[in-house]
Amino acid sequence: PFDVLIIGGGPAGASAAIYSARKGLRTGIVADRFGGQVMDTAGIENFISIKETEGPKLSAALEAHVRQYDVDVISSQRVKELFPASRPGGLHGVALESGPILHARTIIIATGAHWRQLGVPGEEEYRNKGVAYCPHCDGPFYKGKRVAVAGGGNSGVEAAIDLAGIVSHVTLLQRGSRLKADKVLQDKLLSLPNVTVLMEALTTRIQGNGKNVTGLTYRGGDGADHHIDLEGVFVQIGLLPNTDWLRGTLKLSDYGEIVVNDHGATSVPGIFAAGDATTTPYKQIVIAVGDGAKASLSAFDYLIRVPVT
Ligand code: FAD
């Protein structure tokens, strides 16, 4: 069995693997796709100490760093079920979709998350070419340009307020007849001079010129189609943690995030979690990397304290 088995090969999982291996622990990492969401990212300018890089380049660097160490890398495999140990110090099991069950004294779950998509024509085609999901990441790329934010919940309204300070104009489109964000955020949004808020506006298509986004079409409350010329669309209708396979085993939040404490410990002794799959606030690469290190050091602490049973 492994001392530490990490599920997920994004920034959080890679960091956890490196920290575990450096403690001399028998470490394994199972990843469906090494790099995780970083693989879907174009420019990255906020991974501190690297002025700019690209997703596939950073993913390759994460994997190469992990492979520097004696880590069992089990890639292109998905896990489907967790079997927590029946007592502290016991072995946990993880079933792979392909059949085998792996055993480990500690587990670090870093299966990340994915953005809910609008599912409209043009969204996939112009992803990273005007269609964006992360205002902290991509906001500065739209300096002085016109953007829309789809989604009127807290994340949509926060994104619109954030972007209004960077871009020339923001149009916020909310599908329903009222914003769902906290009142204080709504008041702030409505006080901004360069923001237009559209209610009962259902985004139906994102247009482009083959290279970049040039506009968006929405169906209004009047039932008619309307067009907006713009350069960017931020989709903010939910970040979904990849935790469906954990239901009934670990405590999850109302949003499906794994509930962790400040040491990255979950509700089950010996099982830790890190990154976007957890309740950690602000989902970013630099935060996931820090979280992975923290979960790994917590796993080490557990291993030296809790006797094998
Ligand atoms: P993820 O990166 O989501 O990795 C999850 C890992 O788990 C993957 O290896 C996946 O294959 C694996 N996995 C999931 N389910 C299973 C399973 N059942 N079995 C086995 N493996 C599984 N952040 C920034 O800081 N800067 C940016 O510029 C930036 N730009 C972004 C642009 C886009 C388009 C997106 C989508 C995100 C961006 N982010 C950015 C956010 C950043 O990518 C995430 O915060 C970060 O990748 C989270 O790391 P993670 O390791 O927690 O999860």
pLDDT by position in tens, the chain (length 309): 999 999 999 999 999 999 999 999 999 999 999 999 999 988 899 999 999 999 999 999 999 999 999 999 999 999 999 999 999 899 999 999 999 999 999 999 999 999 999 999 999 999 999 999 999 999 999 999 999 999 999 999 999 999 999 999 999 999 999 999 999 999 999 999 999 999 999 999 999 999 999 999 999 999 999 999 999 999 999 999 999 999 999 999 999 999 999 999 999 999 999 999 999 999 999 999 999 999 999 999 999 999 888
Give the Å distance between the CA of 304 and the centre of ligand 1: 30
Give the Å distance between the CA of 137 and the centre of ligand 1: 13
Separation between Cα atoms, residue 55 and residue 79, nearest integer Å: 24
The kind and range of the H/E element at 14 are helix 11-22
Structure tokens that stand for 89 in this block: 């110090």
Burial of 30 (0-12, 13-18, 19+ CB in 10 A): buried
pLDDT value of residue 42: 86
Report whether residue 219 contacts ligand 1, using a CB cutoff of 6 Å.
no
* Among 134, 229, 262, 291, the one annotated catalytic: 134
Of 277, 274, 279, the C-alpha closest to 16 is 274
Query: 109 and 8 in contact (C-beta within 8 Å)?
Result: yes
Q: What is the CA radius of gyration of the chain?
A: 21
Three state DSSP letters for 150-193:
ECCCHHHHHHHHHHHCCCCEEEEECCCCCCCCCHHHHHHHHCCC
Cα angle 76, 81, 84 (rounded to 5 degrees) comes to 125
pLDDT value of residue 246: 98
Burial of 89 (0-12, 13-18, 19+ CB in 10 A): middle
* Among 138, 162, 182, 262, the one annotated catalytic: 138
**C-alpha distances out from residue 88 to 52, 165, 284, Å:** 44, 50, 32
Tell whether 270 is in a known binding site. yes
Active site residue 182: no
- Report pTM: 0.94
Residue 309: strand, helix, or coil: coil
Nearest CA to ligand 1 atom 39: 284
Residue 239: strand, helix, or coil: strand
Active site residue 229: no
Give the Å distance between the CA of 185 and the centre of ligand 1: 27
Residue 23: DSSP 8-state: T
Active site residue 134: yes
Residue 234: strand, helix, or coil: strand
